[in-house]
């Protein structure tokens, strides 16, 4: 199934690897950019081509210096070092963490670039296809599964401490099993209390309707499911 012909050190193979790296980096970047996510085409092209060049450099050094060169050493540094680039795409916005998928995409793109650089083109292409299929199919599967789960994680903004007690009391009275209930107090006047809580509702309870019932409580400014 997999071919080793592209692993041979020839001028044509080097050119093919660079072209495939450019194409795959572009496809991954456009896929991320179409969703207005971090890690657009310019980022993924740079990462994929850079990782490819690392492996080309490794193989070139092996051709020049023979067995005295460890061909995996620099590649290992790329796999670990590209994590810092991915970390830059992770944002903590209030009660939500965004960019984890983008960071993982950048890291995966680097790994694909390494595979292309060493000549493992068919493996890189197959992995890219499966990766693209996975990240597009997974949300549909998750939505169907999560729809039937009774757990909810919600973020609430409240006017005062009395509203916090009221929400907590309602959850207990409705026999919700509370896992976490975190309160962030306002740091300045005019700001509101922020509550993030995870709980399990009773069987047969409609989660959307229950969310609306919490929204209608006195002192609740806004509420959203995380």
Which string of DSSP letters, residue by residue, matches 145-170?
A: HHTT--EEEEEEEESSHHHHHHHHHH
**Residue pLDDT, tens place only, 130-152:** 888 888 887 787 777 767 778 88
Q: Which residue has the tokens 């409705």?
A: 174
**Residue pLDDT, tens place only, 44-85:** 888 888 888 888 888 887 887 777 667 677 777 787 777 776
What is the reported pLDDT for 114?
87
Under DSSP, is residue 115 helix (H, G, I), strand (E, B) or coil? helix
- Provide the b/e sequence for 33-55 (b: ≥16 CB within 10 Å): beeeebbbbebbbbbbbbbbbbb
The backbone region for 218, taken as left when phi is positive above 0, alpha when psi lies in -120 to 50, beta otherwise, is beta
Is 197 buried (19+), middle (13-18) or exposed (0-12) by CB count in 10 A?
A: buried
What is the reported pLDDT for 62?
80
List of the chain residues with pLDDT < 70: 1-3, 34-39, 68-69, 71, 85-86, 90-97, 146
Q: Are 123 and 110 in contact (CB under 8 A)?
A: no
Q: Which residue has the tokens 């069987």?
A: 203
Is 139 buried (19+), middle (13-18) or exposed (0-12) by CB count in 10 A?
A: exposed
What is the reported pLDDT for 45?
86
- Provide the b/e sequence for 160-194 (b: ≥16 CB within 10 Å): eeebbebbeeebeeeebeeeeeeeeeeeeeeebbb
Integer Rg of the chain from CA: 25
Strand partners for 157: 194, 222
pTM of the model: 0.65
What is the reported pLDDT for 36?
59
Extract the runs of DSSP E, i.e. beta strands, from the chain.
91-93, 96-98, 151-158, 177-184, 193-200, 220-225
What is the reported pLDDT for 35?
62
């Amino acid at each position: 199934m997999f071919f080793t012909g592209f692993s041979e050190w020839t001028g044509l193979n080097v050119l093919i690897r660079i072209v495939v790296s450019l194409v795959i980096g572009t496809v991954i970047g456009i896929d991320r950019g179409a969703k207005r996510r971090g890690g657009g085409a310019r980022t993924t092209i740079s990462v994929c081509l850079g990782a490819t060049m690392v492996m080309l450099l490794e193989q070139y050094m092996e051709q020049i210096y023979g067995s005295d060169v460890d061909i995996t050493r620099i590649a290992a540094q790329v796999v670990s070092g590209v994590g810092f680039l991915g970390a830059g795409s992770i944002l903590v916005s209030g009660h939500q963490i965004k960019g984890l998928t983008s960071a993982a995409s950048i890291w995966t793109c680097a790994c694909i670039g390494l595979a292309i650089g060493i000549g493992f083109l068919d493996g890189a292409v197959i992995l890219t296809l499966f990766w693209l299929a996975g990240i597009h199919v997974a949300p549909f599967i998750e939505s169907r599964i999560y729809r039937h789960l009774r757990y909810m994680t919600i973020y609430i903004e409240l006017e005062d401490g009395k509203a916090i007690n009221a929400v907590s009391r309602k959850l207990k009275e409705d026999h919700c099993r509370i896992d976490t209930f975190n309160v962030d107090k306002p740091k300045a006047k005019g700001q509101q209390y922020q509550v993030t809580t995870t709980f399990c509702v009773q069987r047969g309870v409609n989660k959307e309707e229950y969310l609306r019932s919490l929204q209608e409580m006195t002192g609740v400014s806004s509420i959203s499911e995380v």
